[in-house]
Amino acid sequence: MLKAFFPAIIWSIVILALSAGPGIQLPSGFWDEISWDKAGHFGAYVVLVFLLLWGFYRIGWHHPLPAILLAILFGLSMEVLQLTFFPYRHFEWADLLANILGAITGYGVFRRLIYHLNF
């Protein structure tokens, strides 16, 4: 059973490492209007929920709520850890919102893919 969640576990470790490390400063220029940080949060949680749902699907559990809630709680935990334990990092509501929106979108992507592939 744990094997089904191995990709999600690895991806969670990647998110943890990125959340614990120093922030990445992107060069300024043409793309200044895009918040790459928020896009990164969004994308990371799209992938996380997709991988969690895939794990649940592989063990025969097709309800999306546990995967979405796990990802949201993980995102909240990362923000709290940034506030309390990780130096040079801080809690941001906008990051949490990007995580939540990414989690919900990850469900939509997974649902659409499963529907079209007829698994």
User: What values do phi and psi take at 74, rounded to 5?
Assistant: -65, -45
Q: pTM, whole model, 2 decimals?
A: 0.87
pLDDT of amino acid 40: 95
pLDDT of amino acid 27: 61
pLDDT of amino acid 88: 83
For residue 73, which of 116, 15, 27, 114 has the smallest C-alpha distance?
A: 15
